[in-house]
Chain A
Amino acid sequence: MIPWDKLHGAMTHFPIALLLFSTACDFVSVAFKKLTFARGLRLVSFYGLAAAALASLGAVVSGIALTKGDMWGRGDFGWHHRFVWPAFSLLVALAVWRLVVRDAMSRTGLCLYLILMLLASGFVAAAGYFGGELLLSGGSVP
């Protein structure tokens, strides 16, 4: 029998860490004016985002298996899902956008991208928080 609880716990940390790291790299690359350094950071953030999107598929599949297809739920379980689904869809959309656009971003495009990356990071962090609450405190009920 596959230990989905352990697999999900292990797999979720990859998209969380990679997305937060990618967002941080993007913001630092904007803040630094040194062109080569900023380019390097944008490259790192691109691969980080792509890896986060791929890893999120494993996290989602293991989560669905763990909850036996319960995609919503109540209490902390419900809150976890309320943040997971927007985070997952934003993460995939941003990764695809980055894959198409690469470094050819306009000023408006970059601003919009950074705002959405920040939003996705917030969703992922909140989903991770409520996921942790489920495991560490057994979860609350409304």
Chain B
Amino acid sequence: MTPLEIKGAVAGVITSVFILVATFTAGGIYRNHIERETESGNRPLDAAHLAARGRSFFFQSCAHCHGQDADGGEDGPSLLKLQISGAHMALVIQSGIKDEMPSFAKKYNAQDTAAIVAYLKTLH
């Protein structure tokens, strides 16, 4: 390899490492910020209130497929032992699953979706 190529490789590796570290640092800061916001906004009583709101949304929109007890119905699987993160649950609720589950993005905003996720987490 020529000196120019080696110089390019060093520059490439340094830039790549720098951008990756910056990305992970920014992601970590953002995640901590979100968690702190959730903690301060959802004290024990608020968490119970949020889950209660989520429960009512669940019965409005989810129970007819996933069952009243969320243990699965004719059209939807059980939601009792979900092993996915809250962010992933919110993503599925918002985006839906092609040919299987509709998107609820128009019906429920981020806070409503968070309430449904909070309720689903109480079912574990």
Interface residues on B, range: 35 or more
Query: Closest CB of chain A to B57's CB: distance in Å?
Result: 18
Contact pick for B1, options A95, A106, A138, A139, CB 8 Å = A106
Tell me if B40 counts as interface (CB < 8 A to partner A).
Answer: no
**What residue in chain A is nearest B14 (Cβ atoms)?**
A96
Given known A64-B30, A93-B16, contact A136–B94 (CB-CB < 8 A):
no
Question: B7-39 vs A: 1/0 string, CB under 8 Å?
Answer: 111011101110110011011111111100000
Tell me if A85 counts as interface (CB < 8 A to partner B).
Answer: yes
Interface residues of A (CB under 8 A from B): 1, 3, 5, 60, 64-71, 73-75, 77, 85, 88-90, 92-101, 104-106, 108-109, 112, 134-139, 141-142
7 additional A-B pairs beyond A89-B20, A96-B15, A104-B4, beta carbons within 8 Å, are A1-B110, A64-B26, A66-B91, A93-B12, A112-B1, A136-B98, A142-B83
Give 21 CB contacts A-B under 8 Å: A5-B95, A64-B23, A64-B26, A70-B27, A70-B31, A70-B85, A74-B83, A75-B83, A75-B84, A93-B15, A96-B8, A96-B11, A96-B15, A97-B5, A97-B12, A98-B8, A100-B8, A101-B4, A135-B95, A139-B92, A142-B83
